[in-house]
Structure 1
Amino acid sequence: MKFTETKLKGCFILEPNVIGDKRGYFMESFNEITFSKGIGQEIHFVQDNQSFSSKGVLRGLHYQTGEHAQAKLVRVLQGEVLDIAVDLRPNSPTFGQYESIILSAENQKQFFVPKGFAHGFLVISETATFFYKCDNFYNKESEGGIIYNDTRLNIDWNFHESELIISEKDKVLPSLENAKKVW
């Protein structure tokens, strides 16, 4: 597995070794020892989540706060998404900056989003099955979010806004300036 740290310290792109032949392919998608060495810290995942969405569905930008903050390892099992991580760590030199990556069933890339980041994704294929591991359990009282089109973040979703499908809950998320603090 190849680990590449992004411009946002602690965020990593993972590229597995895919062994393919006429029968199909095999890959190791997660190995705790390899993962810990690759990102330079131990993470213990406690919850797996999966969603299925249609083209244009935008989920995010979400995060958990305080003791319920979550690190996530995300990937796409079917289809293709534009995945976004936003640095919300108050003392980080990259606070308010984001990283984007195309994740797909074809490229098999994964994205590690550490605690202190908001996360979201946009489905750019007809449908997508999205899968992620979390190192902390979901806690409703600790959920936070930032509106997808916050002008301070200026995220390039590369999709016409009129074609976005967004939940009512996500449509009314606050700006970065007014969002809950992560710690």
Structure 2
Amino acid sequence: MRIRELSVPGAWEFTPRQFGDARGVFYESFKASEFEKAVGRPFDLLQVNISTSAAGVLRGIHYTENPPGQAKYVTCVRGAFLDVVVDLRRDSPTFGKWDAVVIDDVERKAVFLAEGLGHALLSLEDDSTVNYLCSLEYAPEFDRDLDAFDPELGIEWPTVGRNGETLTFIRSDKDAAAPRLADLKLLSRLPGTSAAN
């Protein structure tokens, strides 16, 4: 497995080795020993989520108050997504910085993001399916949202999907009404720890 840290500390990209033959393909999507060696901590799995999205569906930016925080290990099992990680830890030297990885059913990359980081997914084709491992069970009282189109972040969202089609962004009402970073700063609604892991 090839592993690299993203430009946002506490976020990592994992690219598995794939073994194919006439029967199909085998690969290890997650391996605790390699994860711990790279990241320096175990991953405590408490919940697994799966969602399927049409092309253009944009989920996020979502984050969890820290503490308790929620770490995620995200993989695409069908289709393709742009996976975006944003540093929302207010005392972090990379606060407000973002990085992105295309996760798809070809290279089968995974993205890990530590507690205190924001996360968004843009589906790049119809019926794209994502699987994410979570270190915290769903706790709506800790869930927070940030506007994915906040100009202060300047995220470069693609407008063309994997098959060359023009993407029309589709967001939930909750995500469309999410506050901007400046508002969250005023409300003191941002994670406070900059621990990288």
- Interval containing the TM-score (normalised by the shorter chain): over 0.9
Normalising by the residue count of structure 2, what TM-score does the alignment of the two structures yield?
0.89
Q: Distance in 2 between matches of 1:39 and 1:124?
A: 28
Query: Which residue in the other structure is 1:181 paired with?
Result: 190
Equivalent in 151, 167, 170 of residue 172 of structure 2: 167
What percentage of residue pairs aligned between the two structures are identical?
34
- Asked if structure 1 preserves the Cα contact closer than 8 Å seen for 2:56 and 2:122, the reply is yes
Q: What SS does structure 1 have at the residue aligned with 2:141?
A: helix
The structural deviation recorded for 1:46 is 1.0
Q: CA RMSD in A?
A: 1.5
User: Which runs of no fewer than 5 residues in structure 1 stay unpaired?
Assistant: none
Partner of 1:35: 35
Instruction: Give the Cα separation in 2 of the matches to 1:182 and 1:142.
Output: 11
Q: What's the CA shift for 1:170? A: 0.5
Structure 1-normalised TM-score?
0.95
Once the two structures are TM-superposed, the CA of residue 125 in structure 1 deviates from its matched residue by 1.2
Residue 126 of structure 1: how far off its partner (Å): 2.1
Amino acid at match of 1:100: A
Q: Which residue of 2 aligns with 1:61?
A: 61
**Alpha-carbon separation, structure 2, partners of 1:73 and 1:162:** 26
Q: Which amino acid aligns with 1:99?
A: D
Q: Which residue of 1 aligns with 2:141?
A: 141
Maintained 8 Å contact 1:68/1:139: no
Q: Deviations over 1:57-103 (max 9, x none)?
A: 00000011033310100010000011100001122111001011110
Partners of 1:2 and 1:156 in 2: CA distance: 26
- Kept in 1: contact 2:54–2:128 (CA 8 A): yes
Aligned to 2:8: 8
Give aligned pairs, total.
183
Contact 2:66 2:115 in 1 (8 A): no
Judge which range, 30-39 or 53-62, deviates more: 30-39
